Structure 1
Amino acid sequence: MASGENETHLVFNLEGALPAKMGQKSLNVGGTKDEEERLSSFLTGYQFLLSKERQTSKRNVSVAEYCSQESGKLLLKVKKGGHWNYYGHTEKSQTYLYPEEALYLQECGVMEIVSTGGGPWTIQKAYHTFLRGNKSQLQYYQVYADLKRSGYIVQRPTVNPSESQIPHLLLVYKPQKSFKKTSPGPPDTVITVTSPHECFPLPSTVRELRDRYPNSQVQYSIVNGKDITYYSIYHLDALRLT
């Protein structure tokens, strides 16, 4: 835990370089002395990383309050930083966040989540509250976070009451400084999230997405554990939709 009234426990504050990344092949030790020493050095570095106190200045951290399990939204109480053109939505003059937005910002070290009348959440509590026991929501967040880390602007669709709601849908925009969340324009790509155990999006769903977003590319993502694969739907004829 961090100490001091101007600090909070969100990101690591380390001296020196982080341990180098190692792939699966690097972690397969064949019994040689060099391999064992390399693995030992790698594990020691990460043990040091995990043991360090997590600190950041509260001057750079926004605060969102978890409203209720029913709404699933978070009310933005303190706004810091210049990234709010890409996060949150306004309801009755107040800014709310969806769980995937708040969790991603917390992982980035710029968001503190609190309960009404309670203290700050750990990342573990946020995962437990938002994602535990809901595999489809976990996969949805995995795709959302993957796209955000790649630099894309990602939004939830605004559903017209007269339109049917298509679950697990993300609107993706290429990075642009002129983006406005109040009038974002048509997305570059529309992505649905599925798992290997679910069927390919129904032709009727693809047709509806094409009609709703005629200027956008339609993709579907398959989440298999930690692996995410994106597939593009270029031709309606290939799906026998015509």
Structure 2
Amino acid sequence: MDDALELPNAPPKPVQGDEPDENSSGDEDSGADWTKLSSLNINRPIIPRRGEKEFEPAPGGGSGLQIHVLDRARSAMFDALRATRSTSSKAMSYAVWYPSIARAHVTLSRGIHFTSMGHSVPRKEESEEKTTKRLELLPEEAIYMIERGALFCTKAGGAPMSAQQAFSEMLGTEDMTLEKYQVYSYLKRLGYVVTRATPPSPFYPVTPPSSTSSTPLRHQSLFSRFTFHLTNLFSRFNWWRPLCINPWLRQHMSYEFIYKSLRFIPSGHNAPLHVKHTSASPYKIFYHLYKPSTPFKKTSPPPPDFSVVVVDARVTQMPTLRELDDLFGELPELPPPLPRQRHPQQGPQPARNQLPPAPPTPTTLWSWISSWVFKEPETPSPPPRRPNPFAALKAGKRIVVIAAVDAGNISFFRFGQGGFEDWPMM
């Protein structure tokens, strides 16, 4: 059959039963149907839903029908990308970019973006002698707002910057590279709150340092020291951490003591690494990451959920043991994960309107005294469950996330510091 005879005069009719389900996740694996934009008479283009592939690639090339459908979809995609982006002036914010300080001064803030972006800095205006606080954006925050069409940023006395001009003006300032901005914009679009790990200025809000609950022994009194050692001496025997007091008590003959005797290489992260320091490492914590469910306050940020390192995958090698040890040394130690709660089997429950039986009221003096003296002991609560060692080792004591950017493709790798020496059975 001649291919010229296969040219259709009308678009192909959709087949019944092929409409994608709204709750289906398989539509994300195929291409977008750009032809639906031409039938919509709207000023602001909307990216259409993804559809199913109609044809499989053939070795000798497609037929006339396939070529026609592909050309029509390609033309619709170019028309959608060629459309002018528009936004409402009521939702726009305005800022002025100052290259000397690498900051964008927000003169008018609108929207919910500034609940987690920007920080207040006291500045002295040129025309005024009084110092006033103003809202300023870092380079990555200003580029992100401009790129999404929510900010008009101008230079002093100039026209609003385009996205291309903002990239050329702001990248390369305040240690901001293209790879770091790509990671920032990707995480922000996912709903995370992203802040700088190292404050770029003294007025940038930082996370309060983690406080330790352990009190040094030298600050305790003599009586507290005596009671501390006395309690350790006569405390209940613990198989998880057996006491090693004296050989004649024979409490040192435990698995932990035997394994420590057989170990000829020091274990634990407190042991020094016999590795020479190399040149400056590219593995530095640059971002603090907060989940969308984490309560975040911009003026007093809580401890981060993750710490992110950004590297260029094409010029950076895998991290060495020394570099990972330096990264873990900057992070606080996390508590072990809580054990799973065991839900007991529920027996027959009483009726909703049925009240529990009331205790008998003593009638005579002797019955009252006997009920108080021979009182039934209360049921002791079960002891708290110990954490699962395998879950604790999997979670790690310290966690760092490395974002490797390879020409725009971002891959996240999670590294954890496991404490095998904390679990003697290992």
Same fold (TM over 0.5): yes
Q: How does 1:104-123 map to 2 (within 5 A)?
A: 104-123=144-163
Q: Alignment partner for residue 98 of structure 2, among 57, 67, 79? A: 67
Residue 218 of structure 1 deviates from its aligned partner by 0.8
Q: Alignment partner for residue 171 of structure 2, among 114, 122, 131? A: 131
Seen in structure 2, the aligned counterparts of structure 1 residues 204 and 37 have a Cα distance that, compared at 3 Å, is same
Q: Alignment partner for residue 115 of structure 2, among 60, 64, 85? A: 85
Seen in structure 2, the aligned counterparts of structure 1 residues 227 and 123 have a Cα distance that, compared at 3 Å, is same
CA distance in 2: counterparts of 1:39 and 1:103, whole angstroms = 35
Residue 98 of structure 1 deviates from its aligned partner by 0.8
Contact 2:197 2:285 in 1 (8 A): no
Q: How does 1:108-187 map to 2 (within 5 A)?
A: 108-131=148-171, 137-159=177-199, 167=284, 169-176=286-293, 178-187=295-304
Residue 40 of structure 1 deviates from its aligned partner by 1.8
Rg larger in structure: 2
2:47 aligns with 18
2:142 aligns with 102
Larger % of strand: which? 1
SS at match of 2:113: coil
CA distance in 2: counterparts of 1:120 and 1:29, whole angstroms = 49
Which is worse superposed, 207-216 or 104-113?
207-216
2:416 aligns with 234
Which is worse superposed, 38-47 or 190-199?
38-47
SS at match of 1:114: strand
2:75 aligns with 44
Residue 114 of structure 1 deviates from its aligned partner by 0.8
Residue 202 of structure 1 deviates from its aligned partner by 5.3
1:57 aligns with 88
Residue 171 of structure 1 deviates from its aligned partner by 0.5
TM-score (ref. length: structure 2) = 0.45
Matched AA of 1:60: A
Residue 117 of structure 1 deviates from its aligned partner by 0.7
Matched AA of 2:157: G
2:9 aligns with none
Contact 1:65 1:113 in 2 (8 A): yes
Among the aligned pairs, what percent are the same residue?
28
Residue 175 of structure 1 deviates from its aligned partner by 0.4
Residue 133 of structure 1 deviates from its aligned partner by 11
Task: State the Cα RMSD in Å.
Answer: 3.4
SS at match of 2:167: helix
Contact 1:193 1:222 in 2 (8 A): yes
Residue 188 of structure 1 deviates from its aligned partner by 0.4
CA distance in 2: counterparts of 1:34 and 1:20, whole angstroms = 23
Seen in structure 2, the aligned counterparts of structure 1 residues 195 and 112 have a Cα distance that, compared at 3 Å, is same
Residue 21 of structure 1 deviates from its aligned partner by 5.5
Residue 237 of structure 1 deviates from its aligned partner by 7.3
**Alignment length (residue pairs):** 219
Which is worse superposed, 33-42 or 107-116?
33-42
Q: Deviations over 1:134-174 (max 9, x none)?
A: 9970000011111111111111124498xxxx756111000
Q: Deviations over 1:59-97 (max 9, x none)?
A: 1011121111x4221111110112211100111121111
CA distance in 2: counterparts of 1:195 and 1:237, whole angstroms = 30
TM-score (ref. length: structure 1) = 0.76
Q: Note the residue ranges of structure 1 that are not aligned, 5 or more in a row.
A: 1-12
SS at match of 1:39: helix
Residue 177 of structure 1 deviates from its aligned partner by 6.9
Q: Note the residue ranges of structure 2 that are not aligned, 5 or more in a row.
A: 1-41, 123-132, 203-282, 335-397, 421-426
Contact 2:120 2:134 in 1 (8 A): yes
Q: Deviations over 1:87-137 (max 9, x none)?
A: 001111211111111111122221111111111011111112223799970
Matched AA of 2:403: S
